[in-house]
Structure 1
């Protein structure tokens, strides 16, 4: 337990940017240990484990192993989420005393609303349902809440974030290898959503209403696929293509849609609907 706590301390410090060079032996948890063979080389989630280690959103133990089949703790899970989301702002967490290794991570998670419905216990071994609740809390501002009539665990499976495993239930242990799979997905999606919103903002701020006309420019940026359309009141439509200039009479417009996709993601990373003209109010269609 002491070794695990030391390792998690290092993970927390790495997230917060504090130097860990004076800590031993856990100070070298991220580095490969000479003579230690990888304990996940043949694991089905090897690519995901390599990814999260490279992106520094999960870490090895002090002995150089990843322990893919070890059940994750609540503290480990939150430390990785804070790293994925690059959280900075904090809100007090009275349940953890000053100086507790996990206090910084938990306060950042609390500020973002991630601790809703959670019993705070950094050393608690989490089930799949408990892990899914934490992940869904974190992702609510980006994808909205879980779909009606299903559990948090089922929601992760439905979205393709966590593969369904025969015989597993919401109360089954949430393993570190599964965590790697989830955090790889979330890291890619979080960065995609952040970039996609910037593209959508570029489009939004190009829009102008003048003399009864809507004008604007559809961004043409490498690495993004734009889908958009203007639906007119007579039922016709104008497809919005990258680089095109918009010039349409306001009274003719029923609504307008603007979406951004990135390679490897089936779901849009930004999606907005405009329904109020001549106002340019937009609705984030991903979190309705």
Structure 2
């Protein structure tokens, strides 16, 4: 961080429906674009907001974490920062918390885990208030198979077949680097809320499209369209084909990002 600056830590909630994902896009459309613009409009300084990680187009966030460096001469309280930025942001993006962080804090590199939630709407008729907020699946589901699959995910596994290639290296090379595709799932739970099923995952990190491919695979099995042994093979045999089931982005929410100070919360 340059002399004369302080590091601002932001917690951001957003509805992902109108946005092209978290990451700044040429020509705009990313949540990051909107935050950069809001800071410039609010306090008249150019700042580059960095996030704890990307979310895809259509994915929502309840607790994305970001940081940026602003001049020390901009003296505003946490409440004033929230109010000023929210006044300059679209209503689908809100700053829920703003604090001055330690100069060494990095929202991405300091993160030790994340929590994701996936929502599934079960009734025959999709509520208009759930459009683009949940995956609509009506019909029989094997809930016991779903719970068993979730428990099978807990632990450390190579998720190469339950993730997608972002395109930064050839797939053959990605397959040859298990240290890049191995993650630990600490918790995988199902909540039956009547009309809505919520699948929640807490882990030390998640690969590109990993949660969506896990959910798509679990739903395929729970609907009786694949044998539960398929999940076992996906987790234990890194050499086969990737899962061909990916849940839509509309049901996915980044709930929170874990840091050492809140590791137990």
TM range, smaller chain? under 0.3
Greater relative contact order (Cα 8 A, min sep 6): structure 1 or 2?
2
Greater share of strand residues, 1 or 2?
A: 2
Q: Which of the pair has more CA radius of gyration? A: 1
For normalisation by structure 2, the TM-score amounts to 0.28
Greater share of helix residues, 1 or 2?
A: 1
